[in-house]
Structure 1
């Protein structure tokens, strides 16, 4: 009987790989920061004056739902393009090389936005920056999943979401520091701060972060892969050679049937993975092709993580709180990003201890309940003393939303998506999953002003009914269709998909 190595001993043995993976997730700061800081500048007077219009009725400058929608959501278009094209960049220059490319686009996007003196250049800058974030959203989870030890993979990929949360917090802190300025520095300083992230990431990529060994081996670069594994795991020749053999065996099998986009549009091994990834972001391969393909298309159109409406909080949180009469909305938003931090740390333990499926079910059901409560509170119409209490309750529910969302739905989706994206179509699968997520993210960000604002549908907090209903559907989908990938190597997961193992049998299959 093989003695179980303690988690502490495992961490000591794998400290190099863990440290490198932790560093690479710094790229996720960019993702969180942009969503957060832009939410804040939308209510800054200098920004509204620069890009809004003068409203003689209120004798002040205002910003229409149309401008809010376009300038906020256009970044999601760039993110979709970045995610969709990430497979080509990954195939050509690797995960690490793609991160260099994303850093260049961050710099270009920031320069465009800071120097913008018209709406067109601002939109162009956000589009370019979105392209960089789209690359990051695919390449960082792939790199971490490739390079992390199997025992710590879930926790390390979850750190991606934690760093997104830190980016959200940093964005609102910078906004709060500049909101009192009466010049364009109020919004241009928060824009410029984004240059910090590539300035940190690029030196680390050059100095100590190797290319993914799996990618190197897939390109026949065995000696470079051996060096990369040594940098990740230290001088352990026997372990490194066994890793190379395991990875090469799977690569050799994959080369027999070269991966293609066509594979992902049939209910086969990769088609099933593509569906699962896109639905998050089939059941068994029975010959019910017509029915299953219909359900596959439903999955294509729904990324459950975004269906929670998370983007209405990260992209419009300050506007939301201000509209329901909450003062100190910047401080409220700052607390909102601090509140879920413990939940992300809890998630890193729980998704390994209790599994991805269980935690995602708990998270989606909790989010659904919270959103339905928000919708009910928003249905009250009389502006009375009771209404003030309802507004406070809505704020409290939004705080709880952020906690239960980050308990699993935020971080665990990236974990599962990176784990099921295996085999010859690995980068394509990740690109499709992340691309679908960004399409749904755009849909939420673009439509929210029209659903929420008084000059459109004026639903305000009643939007909770929409997102809450979607979360009920998400819980049902997870229960029936999501396989359990905890504790499996990427090679094992790929083999189980090849053998058509049913979702509910992934955990017990030996």
Structure 2
């Protein structure tokens, strides 16, 4: 009966599901950029163009500072994009903001492809980062607004799945161009990013509506009704019922005027801001960016051959875990899955750190590290990757919804920048030279994250956004959320 009910729900809500699936395509941009740049850092033409000749090795190298700056600068753009997403959303809407992000993708890509010096390359990556920052806020908000409550967790999780597909595509393109001896080896992967706005923009123009909730908040009643017609189909009674419900919610939010100051007080929104900020910080504390941004360099440095193929396999094994997450976060809840994921990620990272303490390298040791990194990608994507976006979009409720989402997502990008910027200095031999022992740093953070999730994270699965808001208003303790809603 449960299965039939789910099938019936899919049939009834197929329009909204398809539209939400399409919107998550924007996440490809995020994933692709993270992985393709990792590959070009190891390409000889790129190293010659932006590195320097090292007399000790008799070849060209990229210094830790160049690796750090060119890789992490995109996170600075993402931080600005996430913070300003509230203003973009307020002015143009969720859908309109995706047009803005698409424009910045095009401009940023052109700058990178045309770059013949470090300044232009950095500018292009900064602009592209701004676009990704907008995407990371607006896509989860759009999906949370438009998805049927029953499938909201799974559809928001697809954001992470499409990030994973983008990661995979980036390495595949790199692997296809790595043997070129000219600048095409790295310019072609850069140019591929133009594909994503070419796919997204026509769909936004033709069939993806603006969020009905956002339209009602701007007094655009008839446009909101048309948006619901696209999402729900020709079901007049349901549409009018939802219009009445959403209108009441919007009016209630207007009566309770929100402000940035509310996020700094320990009240309803202050608690939500703290939870969103902490969740995003813990996700990046796993060190995921040392795999996505430096994975190929990491594997090459510890002595692994065919590092490009290893990286492709790494992203492939993560795909089933993301799909499994979409079932598990609904069946077992966000909180339990995050507890399991954080605990397993901590274990794997501590093993990697331990392997890095071995006095001499062996083939068995290298394989152990690679195996642990593969397991890392599986257990990370089982919950810590996708479920964080689900929970932050769900707790971002009430009049400060856009501000809450912008704040938590900006935290993600700031912490992402910290990991990306510091990793070369921690890992490389010309700096701290920790190599695989960096696992101790990220593993310890994940132990702390597991404890934090147990004590502070509320369960938000199976509840409407408005029910979640009521629980926060009542000050329900984290571990009583589920039973109170029942």
Q: TM-score, normalised by structure 1?
A: 0.94
1:507 and 2:451 matched: no
1: CA distance, partners of 2:57 / 2:300? 17
Please name the residue that 1:298 is paired with: none
User: 1:116, 1:122 within 8 Å by CA — same for their partners in 2?
Assistant: yes
Cα distance per residue 1:355-400 (max 9 Å; x no partner): 00000000000000000000001110224xxx22111000000000
Please name the residue that 1:438 is paired with: 413
The alpha-carbon deviation at position 122 of structure 1 amounts to 0.3
Q: How does 1:58-457 map to 2 (within 5 A)?
A: 58-281=57-280, 303-383=281-361, 387-457=362-432
Cα distance per residue 1:434-482 (max 9 Å; x no partner): 0001000000000000000000000000000000000011011111111
1: CA distance, partners of 2:423 / 2:234? 53
3-state SS, counterpart of residue 61 of structure 1: strand
Cα distance per residue 1:97-147 (max 9 Å; x no partner): 000000000000000000001001100000000000000000000000100
Please name the residue that 1:286 is paired with: none
Cα distance per residue 1:27-57 (max 9 Å; x no partner): 0000000010000000000000000001122
2: CA distance, partners of 1:8 / 1:344? 21
- In structure 1, list runs of 5 or more residues that go unmatched: 282-302
1: CA distance, partners of 2:208 / 2:460? 26
Please name the residue that 1:299 is paired with: none
3-state SS, counterpart of residue 53 of structure 2: strand
3-state SS, counterpart of residue 399 of structure 2: coil
3-state SS, counterpart of residue 120 of structure 1: helix
3-state SS, counterpart of residue 195 of structure 1: helix
Please name the residue that 1:287 is paired with: none
2: CA distance, partners of 1:508 / 1:229? 32
2: CA distance, partners of 1:448 / 1:310? 11
Cα distance per residue 1:306-337 (max 9 Å; x no partner): 00000000000000000000000000000000
User: Cα–Cα, structure 1 residues 155 and 433, in superposed 2: closer, same or farther, change >3 Å?
Assistant: same
How many pairs were matched up? 485
3-state SS, counterpart of residue 60 of structure 2: strand
Please name the residue that 1:464 is paired with: 439
2: CA distance, partners of 1:403 / 1:421? 27
Cα distance per residue 1:414-445 (max 9 Å; x no partner): 00000001111111100000000100000000
The alpha-carbon deviation at position 508 of structure 1 amounts to 1.2
User: 1:247, 1:491 within 8 Å by CA — same for their partners in 2?
Assistant: no
The alpha-carbon deviation at position 5 of structure 1 amounts to 6.9
Please name the residue that 1:294 is paired with: none
2: CA distance, partners of 1:507 / 1:306? 27
1: CA distance, partners of 2:98 / 2:462? 28
User: 1:17, 1:233 within 8 Å by CA — same for their partners in 2?
Assistant: yes
User: 1:325, 1:391 within 8 Å by CA — same for their partners in 2?
Assistant: yes
Cα distance per residue 1:254-294 (max 9 Å; x no partner): 2112111001000111111111111011xxxxxxxxxxxxx
User: 1:372, 1:465 within 8 Å by CA — same for their partners in 2?
Assistant: yes
1: CA distance, partners of 2:223 / 2:466? 21
1: CA distance, partners of 2:113 / 2:375? 35
Q: TM-score, normalised by structure 2?
A: 0.99
The alpha-carbon deviation at position 4 of structure 1 amounts to 10
User: Cα–Cα, structure 1 residues 255 and 505, in superposed 2: closer, same or farther, change >3 Å?
Assistant: same
2: CA distance, partners of 1:141 / 1:438? 15
User: 1:106, 1:129 within 8 Å by CA — same for their partners in 2?
Assistant: yes
1: CA distance, partners of 2:3 / 2:350? 45
The alpha-carbon deviation at position 162 of structure 1 amounts to 0.3
3-state SS, counterpart of residue 38 of structure 1: helix
1: CA distance, partners of 2:250 / 2:452? 32
1: CA distance, partners of 2:359 / 2:388? 37
Please name the residue that 1:300 is paired with: none
User: Cα–Cα, structure 1 residues 143 and 194, in superposed 2: closer, same or farther, change >3 Å?
Assistant: same
User: 1:83, 1:431 within 8 Å by CA — same for their partners in 2?
Assistant: yes
3-state SS, counterpart of residue 462 of structure 1: helix
| Structure 1 runs of 4+ with >6 Å offset | none
2: CA distance, partners of 1:371 / 1:176? 27
3-state SS, counterpart of residue 209 of structure 1: coil
The alpha-carbon deviation at position 494 of structure 1 amounts to 1.2
- In structure 2, list runs of 5 or more residues that go unmatched: none
The alpha-carbon deviation at position 241 of structure 1 amounts to 1.4
Q: What is the alpha-carbon root mean square deviation over aligned residues?
A: 1.1
3-state SS, counterpart of residue 430 of structure 2: coil
1: CA distance, partners of 2:236 / 2:469? 26
The alpha-carbon deviation at position 245 of structure 1 amounts to 1.8
User: 1:85, 1:431 within 8 Å by CA — same for their partners in 2?
Assistant: yes
